[in-house]
Amino acid sequence: MSTTIGLGIDVGGTNTDSVLIDLENKKILSFAKASTTRADLAIGIADSLRGLDKRHFPGIALIGLSTTLATNAIVEGARRRVSAILIGYGPDDFPPGLREDVVLIRGGHDVRGEERAPLDTETLREIVQHKKGDTEAFAVCGYFSVRNPDHELRAAEIIRQMTGRPAVCGHELSPKLDAVKRATTTILNAHLIPIIHHLVDSVQRVFLRNRITAPLMIVRGDGSLMGISAIMNRPIETILSGPAASLIGARFLLGQEGAVEDAVIVDIGGTTTDTALLRNGSPCLNPEGARIGSWQTNVQAIDIRTIGLGGDSQVTLDYDGNLRVGPKRIIPMAFLGAEHPEIEAELERIRGRCDHLPLYSAPDFWVAWGKNPEGHEERTGRRILDSLGKGPRSLLQLSEAADLGMTDVRREMARLEEKGLVQHCGITPTDFLHANGTFAAWNRGTALLALQILCDRHRIALPALREKLAEAMERKIGLQILDLILAEPSRLRRNQAGCDVCLLFWDQCFSREKRSDHVRFQISLKDRLVGIGAPAHAFLPPVAQKLGTSVTIPFHAGVANAIGAITGAVALTDEALIRPVLGQFRLHSSLGVEIFAGLEEATVRGRDLLAKVIREKARAAGAGEAEVTLEEKEHWATSRTGESLFMEKRLIARAIGSPRLEPSRMLPGVSDRSSDDQ
Amino acid sequence: MELLEKISEELQNGNFIDVPKLTQEALVQGISPAVILSDALVAGMDVVGEKFRRDELFMPEVLIAAKAMQAAMTVLRPKLIETGVETAGTVVIGTVQGDLHDIGKNLVGMLFEGAGYQVIDLGVGVAPERFVEAVRTHKPDIVGLSSLLTTTMPQMREVIESLVEAGLRGSVKVMVGGAPVTEKFAQDIGADGYSPDAASAVEKARVLTTR
């Protein structure tokens, strides 16, 4: 029996997927899906595990987890009790939105790593004493701390001694300049610390109940894995964990069919389509740092583009017959029809009265969502909610029930949707796919009826409507992919308004109607497309064709995320910088600043220090044998008169290693594989 | 306009005695300060700049034309402020720390002023922190760094890094110049622009701020 099995779990926005892979021979043994339980993620995880083949559990030697927990927590504004000690910062050096956590302390350094003012330990101690009863985690950030971490390190030590709480420093999270980004990153990180502790606690219990004792690792936003003891202090690095796992999973699946170097990964989901790049087998990262919601951090994560376009995006036609998809997500008519077949009668009725509907109206329905609240709704809202209490209702029915014009009903429904009391249902790409037989999961009849109403109202035949949808989807996805590719070498940004020639170009490439007879534009993409997500089968091949490249949709694409959660590697980088100052050479590293008389001396010390530190960090992150490489970049400038100037030497260390596997402790003797050969 | 043409001509000749007198006369005649600035002074400096680029004029001649311009500006500036002329933008300039040269910087300052920019001159030997403070206070479109010593060239990088650390790098365009500075050096340290002389500095600034 194999003892090199990995359990991969992806906790996404809608689904919690799990997969068992034999890491040695790279075989997928079992997979399962369950619904994500937002209130307590562990429940969804337990549900998902229940769908797996339990016979493999004793062989599990590693668990990998990817989750949107960090991203969601930040975007939804989850706040814990955090104190941010900013050393040598001014009032403009951090985002105003984080003001309430911040305390400013004198100290900090300058661009050369020299102290601008001594660290005010007295005030620090007073503040920590005052705050310690009320703080779950501390963030410590110093001005120019990446040129000299001394004040951050000393302050963090004082905090730990006085409170026993976690205190994470800015320079530990990134070696990059920009004090504002550093403060943002470090403070948000502190907010996430209690949240990730809670998650890890509850999932550990689920594993134990299932008799799984393997070490747990979490996927970072760059696709690499990190053991929980290391990630507990740096949870901010798990943002974009889900999409990163997707990328690693796609790479794994492609790798099964041959070596993978370059590809564009397109993940078409229910609400959004995400695109990202693989270059030389590695995910492309965003050099500016990850942006989450309105916060700009310096976290190294994948460069992923997202548009509000997916299988369940709302499809509408305007007065001029232009079709729009998304960004709003609604319940597809096919799904509604599967749950409530009685709406077919209502759809027939609407069809008969089609000419009396507003032109912009597709057949719209609404369902009540959650508990029906008492009171607080005045007459119109009350009548509508009462009507919905009996089942899904069309716009027409609600207009009749509330005795109100359809425009007013729409306005009311938008209000109720915002309050979370109702859900909108209507035509989506999923319905088109049901109509043409590609999907068969739900009610084809309702999809067809709904589409027919839309066709009748706008006097357009169904094949023509289908063309419009295909064109809209292909154009949006195609341009998204182009934006990603063009941004690569020179950070080119497409002007959304566009000059007329560019618009003509896009029309030529994506529009069927607007084809010129006299000039042909053909895009030819070097990288192939890789599609994941159920709608990929339907919408991606034509996009590939328009972009002049091939498309692959791997067999297990449906669980690519969970696969990626367990097939990544531990990967870390660290940097040191040598700069000339007044005839001497300063070595700046995560340990501090050291001064040398000669460049060679400084370099030797820098190499030793980096190698040692990164090996230690790799081991602490859960890597087995780590391969360490060192890159050295010397920068010399030449003046106009030909004089040579030594500007700097940058040392970059990289460590990559497979995670350490630990076979199960539950069954004695299982680690001796030879006795298990059948 | 005859008077404006005369001002322009005398400015090109470097007549720093008569140019301010003629400028005053133009004001008395009721010609608007903005028109005097653009049609006489800037027009005159444009010609000087063009001739300098074509090697028809040399630095000393540019310097005395600039001196005449400066004299005219002393008369015109208060009137410009009064009438609220819209500036083309704001520029902060300075010579970097450890360097005391200022002739080139001063010339650039005058030419920018002549082109209608508000100029904040921080002087010489300016530490990175003062540049950062000036950017924070004045919110300029351009920061111009000058260095005439090879040994102080690296200071320019330190100013740029200090702007990055302050989170202000994206809010300005940084230009560098000075005898030992090259285009490649400017690119290497992450500056937005370089110009080989004062005359082309203004043109470069315009290009950088219209994109």
Closest by alpha carbon to A432, among A455, A412, A405? A455
Q: How confident is the model at residue A78 (pLDDT cuts 50, 70, 90)?
A: confident
**Chain A residues whose beta carbon lies within 8 Å of the beta carbon of residue B99:** none
Closest by alpha carbon to B42, among B75, B4, B3? B4
Residues B118 and B43 in one domain: no
Closest by alpha carbon to A6, among A217, A169, A248? A217
> Is residue A596 scored above 70 in pLDDT?
yes
Residue A84's SS3 state is: strand
Residue A537's SS3 state is: helix
Distance (Å) from the C-alpha of residue A361 to the closest C-alpha of chain B?
A: 42
Asked if B182 lies within 8 A of A640 by C-beta distance, the reply is: yes
Distance (Å) from the C-alpha of residue A179 to the closest C-alpha of chain B?
A: 5
CATH number assigned to the domain comprising residue B75:
1.10.1240.10
What does the block give as tokens for A466? 């289908």
Residues B94 and B161 in one domain: yes
Asked if A641 lies within 8 A of B153 by C-beta distance, the reply is: no
pLDDT at A30: 95
pLDDT at A360: 62
User: A507 or A541, which is more confident?
Assistant: A541
Residue A642's SS3 state is: coil
Residues B79 and B125 in one domain: no
Q: Which of B154, B164, B188 sits opposite A177 (nearest CB)?
A: B164
pLDDT at A372: 57
For A362-424, the DSSP string reads: ---EEEE-S----S---HHHHHHHHHHTTS-EEHHHHHHHHT--HHHHHHHHHHHHHTTSEEE
Residues B72 and B128 in one domain: no
Distance (Å) from the C-alpha of residue A100 to the closest C-alpha of chain B?
A: 20
- Numbered residues of chain B with Cβ closer than 8 Å to any chain A Cβ: 128-129, 136, 150, 153-154, 157-158, 161-162, 164-167, 169, 179-182, 184-185, 188-189
Asked if B150 lies within 8 A of A110 by C-beta distance, the reply is: no
**Chain A residues whose beta carbon lies within 8 Å of the beta carbon of residue B180:** 639-641, 643
What does the block give as tokens for B98? 């450890």
Give the start-end residues of each E strand in A135-178.
Answer: 137-142, 167-169
- Give the span between the Cα atoms of B176 and B196, in whole angstroms: 9
**Chain A residues whose beta carbon lies within 8 Å of the beta carbon of residue B186:** none
- Numbered residues of chain A with Cβ closer than 8 Å to any chain B Cβ: 92-93, 110-112, 143-144, 177-181, 580, 635, 637-641, 643, 645, 647
Asked if B188 lies within 8 A of A635 by C-beta distance, the reply is: yes
pLDDT at A265: 94
Domain end position, chosen among B83, B116, B139:
B83
Whether the Cβ atoms of residue A233 and residue A257 lie closer than 8 Å to each other: no
Side chain identity, residue B91: V
Domains of chain A: 5-75+197-307 (3.30.420.40), 82-192 (3.40.50), 313-464 (no CATH), 569-659 (no CATH)
Whether the Cβ atoms of residue A338 and residue A485 lie closer than 8 Å to each other: no
Asked if A640 lies within 8 A of B165 by C-beta distance, the reply is: no
Residues B25 and B93 in one domain: no
Residues B14 and B114 in one domain: no
Residues B150 and B201 in one domain: yes
A176: nearest CA in chain B? B165
Residues B30 and B100 in one domain: no
Calculate ∠ Cα A536-A541-A542, nearest 5°. Answer: 120
> Is residue A230 scored above 80 in pLDDT?
yes
Domain end position, chosen among B30, B51, B83:
B83
Question: How many other CB atoms are found less than 10 A from the CB of residue A568?
Answer: 29
Residue B17's SS3 state is: coil
Evaluated on CA atoms A275, A277, A283, A286, the torsion sign reads negative
Which residue segment(s) compose the domain that B154 sits in? 89-210
Number of domains in chain B: 2
Share of chain B above pLDDT 70, in %: 98
Residues B74 and B94 in one domain: no
Q: How confident is the model at residue A374 (pLDDT cuts 50, 70, 90)?
A: low
Calculate ∠ Cα A473-A474-A478, nearest 5°. Answer: 120
Q: Which of B153, B158, B169 sits opposite A645 (nearest CB)?
A: B153
Evaluated on CA atoms A666, A671, A672, A673, the torsion sign reads positive
pLDDT at A458: 86
User: Which tens digits make up the pLDDT trace of A152-205?
Assistant: 999 999 999 999 999 999 999 999 999 999 999 999 999 999 999 999 999 999
User: Which tens digits make up the pLDDT trace of B126-185?
Assistant: 999 999 999 999 999 999 999 999 999 999 999 999 999 999 999 999 999 998 999 999
> Is residue A511 scored above 70 in pLDDT?
yes
- Give the span between the Cα atoms of A372 and A421, in whole angstroms: 7
Category of A583 on φ-ψ map: left (φ > 0), alpha (ψ -120 to 50) or beta: left
Asked if B165 lies within 8 A of A177 by C-beta distance, the reply is: yes
Query: Does pTM top 0.90 for this prediction?
Result: no
- Give the span between the Cα atoms of A107 and A377, in whole angstroms: 56
- Give the span between the Cα atoms of A332 and A315, in whole angstroms: 10
Q: Which of A111, A635, A643 sits opposite B162 (nearest CB)?
A: A111
Evaluated on CA atoms A146, A148, A153, A154, the torsion sign reads negative
Residues B49 and B145 in one domain: no
A310 bridge partner residues = none
What does the block give as tokens for B118? 């508000």
What is the DSSP-derived secondary structure letter of residue A217? Answer: E
Asked if A639 lies within 8 A of B150 by C-beta distance, the reply is: yes
Whether the Cβ atoms of residue A129 and residue A163 lie closer than 8 Å to each other: no
Closest by alpha carbon to A368, among A343, A350, A340, A393? A393
Distance (Å) from the C-alpha of residue B93 to the closest C-alpha of chain A?
A: 20
CATH number assigned to the domain comprising residue B112:
3.40.50.280
Provide mean pLDDT across the span A551-564. 90
Asked if B167 lies within 8 A of A180 by C-beta distance, the reply is: yes
Please state the ipTM of this predicted complex. Answer: 0.83
Asked if A111 lies within 8 A of B154 by C-beta distance, the reply is: no
User: B114 or A293, which is more confident?
Assistant: A293
Asked if B185 lies within 8 A of A639 by C-beta distance, the reply is: yes
Exposure string for A175-204, b = 16+ CB within 10 A, e = fewer: bbbbbbbbbbbbbbbbbbbbbbbebbeebb
Lowest mean pLDDT segment, chosen from A200-209, A399-408, A523-532, A666-675: A666-675
Q: Which of B150, B164, B189 sits opposite A178 (nearest CB)?
A: B164
User: Which tens digits make up the pLDDT trace of A36-53?
Assistant: 888 888 999 999 999 999
Residues B34 and B49 in one domain: yes
Residues B15 and B108 in one domain: no
User: Which tens digits make up the pLDDT trace of A600-621?
Assistant: 999 999 999 999 999 999 999 9
Share of chain A above pLDDT 90, in %: 65
B136: nearest CA in chain A? A92
- Give the span between the Cα atoms of A54 and A39, in whole angstroms: 26
> Is residue A644 scored above 70 in pLDDT?
yes
Domain end position, chosen among B33, B54, B83:
B83
Asked if B188 lies within 8 A of A93 by C-beta distance, the reply is: no
Asked if A111 lies within 8 A of B161 by C-beta distance, the reply is: yes
Residue entry with tokens 């890491």: A23
Q: How high does pLDDT run on average in chain A?
A: 90
